[in-house]
Chains A and B, each alone.
Chain A
Amino acid sequence: MSTDQWPLWEVFIRSKNGLSHKHVGSLHAPDAQTALLNARDVYTRRSEGVSIWVVEARHIHASSPDAKEPLFSPADDKVYRHPTFYDIPDEVGHM
């Protein structure tokens, strides 16, 4: 390892079976295996999860904040796209 900083990794934790992984934060680590160990120590100390994903931050491609209007504004006035006109039975649980 050189004097450069370790690469940044984004951490995703699945809190229980049946739910999806959620982004919880980031950390530094020299490689994937140690990133997983670090994630376990930094983000799952209070039984937060049953599964960890790590991905090097440079592999994530993000939408540009400048493109916010064309990307997202058109959806604002299309209320009919929301499934709010249905009654969802309680038994369905997570949607």
Chain B
Amino acid sequence: MKKNIHTQGAPPLLIYTLRLADNAMILGQRLSEWCGHGPELELDIALSNIALDQLGHARMLYQYAAKQLGPDYTEDDLPFFRDADSFHNLLIVELPNGHWGDTLARQFLFDTYNYFLYRRLCSSADDTIKSIAQKAIKEITYHAQWSAEWVIRLGDGTQESHQKIQKSFEDLWMWTGEFFMADEIDCQMAEYGIGVHPEQLKDAWRSKVEEILDIATLHVPDATWYQRGGKQGRHTEYLGYILAEMQHLPRMYPEAKW
């Protein structure tokens, strides 16, 4: 019988690996909800591709996390046998997809963050994280380009598309602060040269977002307060529903095989 994995008090490297892995996994799971429902065939395929890329990144990182846990664990144990409070993804990736503009705005904000993060991780002192980042950065570069192009087209499109995506950015803005909030684990990983101190990503992210929103004739929202907690395992109610869908089969039939 499989036992739940709890991450309370786990080593910092494991938590750090899981933060990266869970971002990719939960966003990939969210995006795959669009499969077959995209507004155009081509966009449906494009977003499903991105979802699969994210899943691929998650797999590499879960393999590494399982290795850290020991020989009794596999990559599948981590996404399927953990409860919400042991997931370490950012809150923004677990939010519901909303309409197409909401999904694109979230994708652009996250891709831009992910791009600057993984670019730095390409020179991580940890060889495994380094090689995963070097592989993933090519796909992430494309994701960031793709979502930026579409933000420009919706922002500078019709009056309706402009208003809708501006509202999407306003709604999402309070979830973006968590990108740059550092805790003890972030600081320690940055100190070892394994991870990146989140605050160091802020300027590059901000100026890229300002550049694209400017081209898109959108304005950068103001925020005085940001949501936080996902990295530490304190989640919105939405994550529970994602996990229920994702985990119910392996939990009912733990020995199930393809």
Contacts and interface: CB of A to CB of B under 8 A. Distances in A.
Interface of A: 1-2, 6, 27-31, 33-34, 37-38, 40-42, 45
A42 B45 contact: yes
A91 to B, nearest CB: 36
A1 B157 contact: yes
Nearest to A29: B42
Interface string B146-188: 1001100100011001000000000000000000000000000
Which applies to chain A's interface (DSSP): helix, strand, loop or mixed? mixed
Contact of B149 (A1, A27, A28, A33): A33
A6 B40 contact: yes
B153 A30 contact: yes
A30 B158 CA distance: 13
Given A30-B153, A34-B150, 12 more contacts: A1-B157, A6-B40, A27-B41, A28-B40, A28-B41, A34-B149, A37-B145, A37-B146, A38-B42, A38-B43, A41-B45, A41-B46
A23 B153 CA distance: 27
Nearest to A39: B42
Given A27-B42, A28-B42, A37 B149 contact: yes
Interface residues of B, number: 16
A80 B149 CA distance: 54
Interface string B43-84: 101100100000000000000000000000000000000000
B49 A41 contact: yes
A41 B153 contact: no
Contacts of B153: 30-31, 34
A42 B149 contact: no
Contacts of B161: 1
Contact of A38 (B46, B142, B157, B158): B46
B40 A45 contact: no
Residue from the set A29, A33, A38, A45 with the largest chain B CB neighbour count within 10 Å: A38
A32 B189 CA distance: 43
A94 to B, nearest CB: 30
A36 to B, nearest CB: 10
Residue from the set A29, A31, A40, A41 with the largest chain B CB neighbour count within 10 Å: A41
Contacts of B40: 6, 28
B108 to A, nearest CB: 14
A33 B42 CA distance: 13
A28 B172 CA distance: 30
